[in-house]
Amino acid sequence: MDFQYVAPLERAWVRMKGILFDPFDLGKWFVLGFSAWLARLAGGGGGGGFNLNLKGGHEQALSVRRFLRGAWEHVRAHPHWLAIVVTGAVVAAVIALVLVWISSRGKFVFLDNVVHDRARIAEPWRRFAPLADSLFLWRLGYVIVCLCAFAAVATLAVVAAGGFHGFGFGSARAITITLMAALVCVVGAIACAYVSLFLDSFIVPVMYREGVGAVEAWRRFVPTIERHFGAFVLYGMFVLALVVMVGVGIVAVGLMTCCIGLLLVALPYFGTVILLPLIVTYRAFSLEFLTQLGPGFAILAEKATVPAPNPAPTA
């Protein structure tokens, strides 16, 4: 099977114009934007740097040990700080859980609005509650598994390198183990990113169409991924390229407006409304891509067309 990527994106763009501009309805924009904002509440990203300094490895390890020892002594001397830290961590965890739960509902609300070209919140919020709860529990378990896996890799790396006394870049053994652990974490991060992408792009639509829970949706869709593994890998690379191009475009427009555009896009909810054409196109793109797998994966309804008039009867 030959998969296309540009053609589904073009069809998604045409569908977006029909939803948002044919006709243009500002009230519909704000309601549909609110459902998109709900779906994206638990999203986000980040980055970091890594500075490899082989000469300062031993000093870095000593600094880590001194920092940990000083932090522990400070906590023992001021036990109220431990209570504050624990309370803050619990509050942050509860807020994160609430956001994931809301976004799980929002994903189905936004998907339903895109599929049926409408702007509703309350009715689909109630109707898709069982599916959204299943998605929430799956996402929660998935995050816990990923965190435990990365923590296990980090712990094994530290232990294998000789504990905090040998961890760092002070020896060839520590360098090798650290680089191997970093490579495993990079591969794991890529795998986790693909799982998250497939969850949003394909599993949620399968749950929506079949009315099944997250685990059952994965069970039904994984054989399809295995049969067309290369096509789905290319799908992730294509989405990454789109994200990079869109990000560069947004930054360019923001700089052209003296960063005013960037400030508007960064505003909660209002930024989602501004970027709504792009968000709707991306949501429709995965659905258009799914249609290539056959009628069993078709979710988007065909646009109604005016039938051609019957030819006049001839004598």
Per residue in 73-121, pLDDT tens?
Answer: 666 676 777 778 788 889 998 999 999 999 999 999 999 999 999 999 9
pLDDT at 275: 92
Does any domain span residue 310? no
Expressed as residue numbers, the domain containing 179 is: 6-43+50-297
- Over residues 249-257, the mean pLDDT reads 85
Give the model's pLDDT for residue 142: 94
Counting every residue written for the chain, the total comes to 315
Is residue 311, in this structure, part of any structural domain at all? no
Please return the burial class of 33, using the count of CB atoms within 10 Å of its CB with bins 0-12, 13-18 and 19+: buried
What is the pLDDT of the chain when averaged over all its residues?
82
Domain for residue 167, yes or no? yes
User: Mind listing the pLDDT tens digit for each residue in 17-59?
Assistant: 999 998 888 999 999 999 999 999 876 433 333 343 434 444 4
What's the confidence (pLDDT) of residue 221? Answer: 95
Q: What is the pLDDT of residues 156-189, one digit of tens each?
A: 877 776 655 555 555 677 777 778 888 988 999 9
Question: Are the C-beta atoms of residues 52 and 169 closer than 8 Å to each other?
Answer: yes
Residue 89 domain-assigned? yes
3-state secondary structure 28-52: HHHHHHHHHHHHCCCCCCCCCCCCC
Name the token pair of 209: 């169409």
Residue 86 placed within a domain: yes
Any domain includes 308: no
When pLDDT is cut at 50, 70 and 90, the band that residue 70 belongs to is: low
DSSP class of residue 119 equals -
Please report the pLDDT score of residue 214 as a whole number: 95
What DSSP designation does 121 have?
S
Quickly count: other Cβ atoms within 10 Å of residue 104's Cβ. 27
pTM over 0.85: no
Domain total in the chain = 1
Phi-psi sector, 163: left (phi>0), alpha (psi -120 to 50), beta: left
**Model confidence pLDDT, tens digit, residues 125-145:** 999 999 999 999 999 999 999
pLDDT for position 171 = 64
More confident residue, 113 or 67: 113
- Contact indicator for 136, 130 with CB cutoff of 8 Å: no
Q: Does 304 fall in a domain?
A: no
Residue 235: the pLDDT is: 96
What per-residue confidence (pLDDT) applies to 46?
A: 34
Domain membership of residue 93 (yes or no) is yes
